[in-house]
A and B are shown apart, each in its own frame.
Chain A
Amino acid sequence: MKSNVFSLRAELADSIVDVPVSNSLHVFIGGYEMLVKKGAKVQRGQALAVHPRPDVGLANAPVSGKVSSLDFAYLSIKAGKDGDPVEPIDLESLAPGEELNQGLHDLGISVGRIREAETLVINGLNPQPSVTIAEQLLRDEAETISLGLSLVRKAINPKRCVLAAGTGSYRLEGCTTQVVKPVYPNSLPPMVLKAVTGKEVPESTVGFSVHKLWQIGHVLRTGRAIDETVFTLNGGNYRARIGTPLVDILDFANVEIHPGDRLVLSGPMTGYSVFNVEHGIEKNVFSVNVVPKNAYPPMEDRPCINCGECVLHCPARLQPNLIARYAEYGMFERARECGLDACMECGLCSYWCPALRPMQHYIGFAKQQLHPQSGNAPTGWMH
């Protein structure tokens, strides 16, 4: 009945539209350790903050200017004149391994999964329903992606390289294309890896999204830290400087937002909502959605009615109803025994829940309680 709701197929019409650079950019630096102070002059590409986890890339200045305000979450830069440009890093010349990873890290790329592996999987499926960025990048930015792929391939040294895509019409040099049915949740990393390798726990396999390859290709070409992101908004795809206030993007794209609406980043199924339209877009954001106030019934604090809808729709074959109840009452170990760690956080349990329970939130809460250190990394789409 509702299968088309989860379709990941895209009808691409226009090319990527550039959003003009705003006067004031807000870089999200929650959880980072600051390297600059308020009032400092910064250059485009300069390191602003470092994340306590060594595999998470630096936060870099997307534009030259002056740090106009700084708090625990945002670093605002008032755009100004360019000074001495930051010395570009030539990634090609770096040796794969420590050296290359350090270079990528300094350019703002997280390097957690850049290590040697036998199989390299490129996730070319659109990540979520209504998001078309993957196909747009494969169509219009194939050059940058190929550039990124060449570097990743050097670092990973795979025997086999596979592009998973919704149709067979996309090709990447040196990759075999494997068609995966373009229906959510097939775009989730574990599902893609399973589709390609046939195993649920594949050995020596790493996956990257085309968005990530595009980022790597971008920094490789410019030698400058990642300062742009591409994302889907209202059916079209845009490119904006990191830190561009969402309100500027919405204005530019003529998308209205009203009080009570939800402003959702990185996909309607697994993304997060922000509380302020001034929030600056982050580097791993691949989609901006405005969810109207009364479009869907709001979540409620109601008990489970045991209807089993979540169990029937769970791609990880879990019993989300049980896990969510254990998590709700603080029984995290019991939740783990029920297979909590197999959860892909696809959001389908909450999507189908007729009792409107925030299932995915409970599950995420249990995961965070059991593995407190993993909650800090910036989330993304196979990033």
Chain B
Amino acid sequence: MRPFTPLLTVSCAPHVHCGRTTRSMMLETLVVLIPTVILAVINYGLPALRVMALAGASAVAVEALCARIMERENETDDLHGLLTGLLLAFLLPASAPWWLVVAGSAACIILGKAIFGGIGGSPLCAPCVGWAVLSISWPELMDTELTLLSANFAAPLHQLKHFGFMAVEDMPLLDALLGRQIGGLGAVQVLPLLLAGLWLMIRGHIKPLIPVGFFLGVILASLCFHLPGPDEYAPPLFHLVTGGTVLAAFFLATDNGSSPVFPIGVLLYGLLAGVMLILIRVWGVYPDGAPFAVLLANLAAPLLDRIRPHPFGTRKEAA
């Protein structure tokens, strides 16, 4: 007689896993955003911390409430709600009143996530939805230049919009990289965002072709304006380091549910978002408009995902 028979676990194949879960992906993204948070606090002081904390907390609270109302399992522990709130805060001015922040978080979670059935279901990038609702509803409070008059920084995109490129030509590159410019409180911390984005790209958390296409789109489109009119229109580098370009390229456009999957579609999607960003900055009423560019590209994502290969062994039949 054998001493004991172990009670085994049965499961369907495969019996191994890469170990990467939704939660661990969100956690890693949050961790790599910590330098950005710190630089935002250094540049904008405690008001920035207040907005980020409030946005994160209210996003999680709204998500929990939505789960309750919809009689679904509370899945806030996957940290996606927290990340959404933080990314929204990155787009807001540091001076945003508390109710604006809460309204934005609620819009993100309800309109950008919950009504589509939770994480990944939304055809639009959730933080951009929240930002769009706020900027259309309360434009004067969302205008970073008006609300941050007390800050000593330049407002490169506003000056570009109103006075042309000559007015901002002498802005030091380092100032822009280190976030000494007026804009969304986290979006302008370009250098830490860039490093964080590259880290996620190397680790395979985001599809590399999205930021590549995005930057390519920004460069090509801005060159089209800058080469014929160098005095009026800014060169590519200016557009890359000001406003929310880097944040949009690495963190907003790469939102998994709302971006295409197959390589060609992904590249076109990135290009489209990048080109839209420049078009909005040049011809639109918004000085920055990075979230709008992402939203517009999101709308094209399902169409772009139709550019897909034939399944294995069916190529001949289809031709």
Contact = CB atoms under 8 A, between A and B. Distances in A.
B30 interface: no
Interface string A143-172: 000000000000000000000000000000
B99 interface: no
Contacts of A270: 13-14
Nearest to B119: A305
B164 interface: no
Contacts of A338: 311
A350 B8 contact: no
B15 A264 contact: yes
Among A261, A296, A308, A351, the one with the most B-chain Cβ atoms within 10 Å of its Cβ is: A308
User: Per DSSP, are chain A's interface residues mostly helix, strand or loop, or mixed?
Assistant: loop
Interface stretch (A11-19, A105-113, A217-225, A313-321): A313-321
B137 interface: no
Contact of B10 (A259, A274, A297, A350): A274
Contacts of B5: 247, 276-278
Contact of A317 (B16, B21, B24, B311): B311
B19 A304 contact: no
B312 A259 contact: no
Contact of B8 (A200, A263, A269, A354): A263
Among B5, B8, B25, B315, the one with the most A-chain Cβ atoms within 10 Å of its Cβ is: B8
Given A307-B120, A312-B261, A268 B15 contact: yes
Contacts of A201: 313, 316
Interface string B106-124: 0000000000011111000
A289 B16 CA distance: 11
A297 B12 contact: no
A273 B10 CA distance: 5
Contacts of B7: 259-260
B35 interface: no
A34 interface: no
A80 B271 CA distance: 75
Interface string A244-281: 00010000000001111111100011111111111000
Contact of A200 (B2, B11, B17, B313): B313
Given A2-B18, A297-B17, A358 B2 contact: no
A268 B14 CA distance: 6
Given A201-B313, A296-B19, A350-B14, A262 B308 contact: no
A317 B13 contact: no
Contact of A306 (B14, B17, B121): B121
B6 interface: yes
B150 interface: no
A257 B5 CA distance: 10
A269 B121 contact: no
A172 to B, nearest CB: 27
A339 interface: yes
A287 to B, nearest CB: 11
A304 to B, nearest CB: 6
A106 B216 CA distance: 66
Contact of B15 (A291, A304, A311): A291
A352 interface: yes
Interface residues on A, range: 35 or more
B262 interface: yes
A95 interface: no
Interface residues of B, number: 43
Given A297-B21, A303-B118, A275 B10 contact: yes
B314 interface: yes
B180 to A, nearest CB: 36
A35 interface: no
Nearest to A364: B12
Given A269-B13, A291-B16, A308 B256 contact: yes
A2 B204 CA distance: 10
Interface string A289-304: 1010101111100111
Nearest to A270: B13
B247 to A, nearest CB: 20
B226 to A, nearest CB: 35
B9 interface: yes
B203 interface: yes
A296 B9 contact: no
Nearest to B203: A1
A268 B257 CA distance: 29
A274 B8 CA distance: 8
A355 interface: yes
A2 B11 CA distance: 23
Nearest to B118: A303
A308 B209 CA distance: 14
Contact of B315 (A200, A274, A347, A356): A200
Nearest to B75: A302
B14 A305 contact: no
Given A268-B14, A271-B13, A296-B19, A308 B207 contact: yes
A289 B9 CA distance: 13
Contacts of A348: 14
B22 A305 contact: yes
Contact of B120 (A5, A274, A304, A352): A304
11 contacts: A5-B18, A261-B9, A263-B8, A264-B15, A269-B13, A272-B12, A293-B9, A307-B25, A308-B261, A317-B308, A350-B14
Given A303-B117, A307-B22, 19 more contacts: A247-B5, A260-B6, A270-B14, A272-B12, A295-B16, A296-B19, A306-B256, A307-B25, A307-B257, A308-B207, A311-B261, A312-B261, A315-B312, A316-B313, A318-B312, A342-B312, A347-B13, A351-B18, A354-B25
Interface of B: 2, 5-22, 24-25, 75, 117-121, 203-204, 207, 256-257, 261-262, 308-316
